[in-house]
Structure 1
Amino acid sequence: MGGKRKKNDDSIMDDGDEGSRKRTKSKEPKQKDQVLPSMIKNKEKRSELHAKLKRQKKLDKRAKAQARDADVKRALELGEEPPEKKVPRTIENTRELDETICKPDDEELFAGNDADEFSSVLNKKQTPKILITTCRFNSTRGPAFISELLTVIPNSQYLKRGTYDLKKIVEYAKKKDFTSLLVVHTNRREPDALLVIGLPDGPTAHFKLSKLVLRKDIKNHGKPTSHLPELVMNNFTTRLGHRIGRLIQSLFPQDPEFKGRRVVTFHNQRDFIFFRHHRYIFETKEVKKTEKDKDGKSKKVPEQETNVRLQECGPRFTLKLISLQHGTFDTKGGEYEWVHKPEMDTSRRRFFL
């Protein structure tokens, strides 16, 4: 009896040992875990590993691009369709669906364009005339910014604010037949807001102004001429964006002088409007190309080649719409078309322009 019990106990112990061995084997990793830079305490070794991984990632990316180009070339040689180009997922192409996005066949939208406040300027029935002023408490960079705006916006004038109320300045601008009024607001010696008032009947757009870089602070900046600039408007796709785009367009004449090679760009991305001012630079270089003569011998023949590039003229800044108000500026009894509120920023993929 005792021997049998001992045998059973030994068999139980053997089974337990085998189970424990199996468990320890399953816990052992099949492959060695990758060592990350954050796991190394030594700073020099950590930076060395980080540089190595970064270099390897760059090589892998280049190898994938070369393999993709080889597949496209092979498909073209065989007369087949090239592989579909992958589009990366971005916040812009995954934006939430907006019912107010303008469509090319929207007849109601185009019918409204002929009757809005900007139609007379955009249909070339009236030449835009812009008045620029400041807030009451001006700063050092405010006048410098305004002096550069005067070179960017054609047919614009500066009016010293003094102690005049803004409503009186609006009335003065109406009497002098100005089509728009720009007010540069400054805070802590830095321009931080821009008020664009359409005259005589509005609307009034209030923008937050940020990331201002003046012309003198731009490396290798160019000096613009007095020619009328070409205006480029990008990504103003919704009804609100279309209206803001027309408000900005009404600041500039609609007959650009391409001879001056000036380009003014308002690029909307994620409801941030980026302003850039460039001019085209045409450079002619002599390039030697190889050609074969009648005898089949190759010789180098000089040819003229023209390259085009952009030179930034400045200033450079970013706008973000805060509110759009019916009519001219009125803080007490004004009716607002659109106002930005903090609760609107619940989703990163929701845009309004």
Structure 2
Amino acid sequence: MGYKRKRGDGEGEEMEAEDRGRPSFNGTEKRNVILPSMIKNKDKRSKVYAKQKHEKKLEKQKKIKARDAAEKRALELGEEPPQKMIPRTIENTRESDETICRPDDEELFAEIDADEFNPVLRREITPKVLITTCRFNSTRGPAFISELLSVIPNSHYQKRGTYDLKKIVEYATKKDFTSLIVVHTRRREPDALLIIGLPNGPTAHFKLSNLVLRKDIKNHGNPTSHEPELVLNNFTTRLGNRVGRFFQSLFPQEPNFRGRRVVTFHNQRDFIFFRHHRYIFETKESKQSGTKGKESVVGEKVKARLQECGPRFTLKLVTLQHGTFDTKGGEFEWVHKPEMDTSRRRFFL
């Protein structure tokens, strides 16, 4: 039995929690752990929690200083520094996938040489993109399309009207367009993108979310007409490689680096984040303190930073279909189904 004294409001509970760490009458040592949840008084509980949090922070700082000192000591002695601890994340603990691309995969390179995007990516054909909407457009739809036109070079907008999508595909093919993008809206908000490769497909349906237009981005920049540099991150599987080449076929393969424009498609946990930036190089004076009796030396230092141009949105692949758009007789390469989401560490791109 632990000794318990009655105090003011909430102090009895604290004394009881403190007594749990004292030795009992039979000589056995009790657990010396005081959890904030053991204390019913709110003020006392918050104080104990703040104290434990501060102690954990100090302990973490000590470990960081000890690790830095060990690395410095190893470098001075010419030895290998201790191996850095890699934190466990959902990405680096993903389930093993047989379709992950390998550098020596000859079958993959054979498929790439024979796919539909090869003429554009080999610069045999200049990409030409047609952008249209669904039949029921929204208020934010035209603003989003105008920003897409500024992002994708050699892109054109055509009103949908009452035309069927198959008729639009036929029209775009006759006019030598290489891709067709259809912006779908729901409740006055763009919520999906349908990208069709012309003339032989494929057709990709993406769910669109988290759309932020250029005017809503703080300190945004205005893009120029230069052809942008394209960055594709983390498309590691065969399906991801195919989707990445699909995005790549929308842009010319000769970026104009003088324009300093960068378009990024970053895949993380099968969510594709789209960003549009421009580089800004600034020259700043850097002062260096000189020796005694001498003035400080002033030099110039060039610093680079990124300025976001927008728009900003997130895509998630829903279906990938062979050929052009066909809801009835089309053959699907890949379809996302709810039963696929059984594990948080299973990814497809």
TM alignment of 1:84-163, pairs within 5 A: 84-163=83-162
Offset from partner CA, 1:28-65 (integer Å, 9 cap, x none):
6242x3232x4555555555555554444444333322
State the 4+ residue runs in structure 1 displaced beyond 6 angstroms: none
Aligned to 1:6: none
C-alpha distance in 1, partners of 2:104/2:221? 41
Of residues 312, 318, 323 in structure 2, which corresponds to 1:316?
312
Instruction: Give SS of 2:318's match.
Output: strand
Give the C-alpha shift of residue 298 in structure 1: 5.4
Give the C-alpha shift of residue 268 in structure 1: 0.5
C-alpha distance in 2, partners of 1:343/1:136? 32
C-alpha distance in 1, partners of 2:26/2:136? 76
Aligned to 1:29: 30
Give the C-alpha shift of residue 25 in structure 1: 3.8
Compared with structure 1, are the counterparts of its residues 255 and 25 closer, same or farther at alpha carbon in structure 2 (3 Å cutoff)?
farther
8 Å CA contact retained: 2:184, 2:193? yes
TM-score, normalising length from structure 1? 0.87
C-alpha distance in 2, partners of 1:128/1:310? 27
8 Å CA contact retained: 2:190, 2:208? yes
Aligned to 2:178: 179
TM alignment of 1:1-353, pairs within 5 A: 25=26, 29-31=30-32, 33-36=33-36, 38-41=37-40, 46-47=45-46, 49-291=48-290, 299-353=295-349
C-alpha distance in 2, partners of 1:343/1:155? 40
Give the C-alpha shift of residue 113 in structure 1: 1.5
Offset from partner CA, 1:98-139 (integer Å, 9 cap, x none):
111110011121122222100111001111100011111111
Structure 1 unmatched runs, 5+ = 1-21
Instruction: Give SS of 1:63's match.
Output: helix
Give the C-alpha shift of residue 311 in structure 1: 1.0
TM-score, normalising length from structure 2? 0.88
Instruction: Give SS of 2:276's match.
Output: strand
C-alpha distance in 1, partners of 2:41/2:189? 44
C-alpha distance in 1, partners of 2:44/2:153? 58
Compared with structure 1, are the counterparts of its residues 228 and 53 closer, same or farther at alpha carbon in structure 2 (3 Å cutoff)?
farther
Count of residue correspondences: 327
C-alpha distance in 1, partners of 2:85/2:189? 43
CA RMSD of aligned residues (A): 2.0
C-alpha distance in 2, partners of 1:92/1:117? 30
Compared with structure 1, are the counterparts of its residues 57 and 192 closer, same or farther at alpha carbon in structure 2 (3 Å cutoff)?
farther
Aligned to 2:17: none
Instruction: Give SS of 1:286's match.
Output: strand
Residue type matched to 1:268 in 2? N
Q: Hey, which of these two has a bigger chunk of helix by percent?
A: 1
C-alpha distance in 1, partners of 2:123/2:26? 82
Residue type matched to 1:34 in 2? I
C-alpha distance in 1, partners of 2:215/2:49? 38
Give the C-alpha shift of residue 69 in structure 1: 1.4
Give the C-alpha shift of residue 290 in structure 1: 3.7
Compared with structure 1, are the counterparts of its residues 216 and 54 closer, same or farther at alpha carbon in structure 2 (3 Å cutoff)?
farther
C-alpha distance in 2, partners of 1:169/1:252? 21
Instruction: Give SS of 1:65's match.
Output: helix
Compared with structure 1, are the counterparts of its residues 48 and 275 closer, same or farther at alpha carbon in structure 2 (3 Å cutoff)?
farther
Structure 2 unmatched runs, 5+ = 1-22
